[in-house]
Structure 1
Amino acid sequence: MWVAPAMNGALREARFAGDAALDAAGARAARLAAAHVPDADRTVHAPSERCARTAEELGLRSAVEPALRDWELGRWAGARLDEVSAREPEGVAAWLADPSAAPHGGESLLGLCARAGSWLDSLSGAGRVLAVAEPSLVRAAVVHALALPPQAFWRLDVAPLTLTELTGRAGRWNLRAGRPLADGPGGR
Structure 2
Amino acid sequence: MTVRVMLISPAVNAALREARFEGDAPLDDAGARTAAAVATAGGVPGADRHLRGPSQRCGTTAEALGLEARTEPVLADWDMGRWRGRRLDDVGAVEPDAVSAWLTDPSTAPHGGESLLDLITRTGRALESLESTGGRLLAVVEPAVVRAALVHALNLPAEAFWRLDVAPLSLTELSGRSGRWNLRCGRPLS
TM-score greater than 0.5 by the shorter chain: yes
| 3-state DSSP of counterpart to 2:130 | coil
Aligned-pair identity (%): 65
Partner residue, 2:165: 157
2:35 maps to 1:30: yes
| 3-state DSSP of counterpart to 1:128 | strand
Give 5+ residue unaligned stretches, structure 1: 183-188
1:136 is aligned, of 141, 144, 147, to 144
RMSD value, Cα: 0.8
2:115 maps to 1:108: yes
Task: Give the CA deviation at 1:80.
Answer: 0.7
1:9 is aligned, of 11, 14, 33, to 14
Task: Give the CA deviation at 1:170.
Answer: 4.6
1:4-47 deviation digits (Å, cap 9, x = unpaired): 00011111111113322211110110011111111001100000
2 CA distance for matches of 1:3 and 1:176? 13
The code of the aligned residue for 1:66 comes to: P
- In the TM superposition, what are the counterparts of 1:61-72 in structure 2 within 5 Å? 61-72=68-79
2 CA distance for matches of 1:17 and 1:161? 17
1:41-99 deviation digits (Å, cap 9, x = unpaired): 11000000000000000000110001001100011111111000001000000000000
Retained in 1: the 8 A contact 2:22–2:80? no
2 CA distance for matches of 1:98 and 1:169? 31
1 CA distance for matches of 2:81 and 2:178? 30
State the aligned residue count: 182
2 CA distance for matches of 1:62 and 1:173? 24
| 3-state DSSP of counterpart to 1:129 | strand
| 3-state DSSP of counterpart to 1:79 | coil
1 CA distance for matches of 2:15 and 2:142? 12
TM-score normalised by the chain length of structure 2: 0.94
2:125 maps to 1:118: yes
* Higher RCO (C-alpha under 8 Å, 6+ residues apart): 2
Give 5+ residue unaligned stretches, structure 2: 1-5
1:170 to 1:110, Cα distance in 2 relative to 1, 3 A:
farther
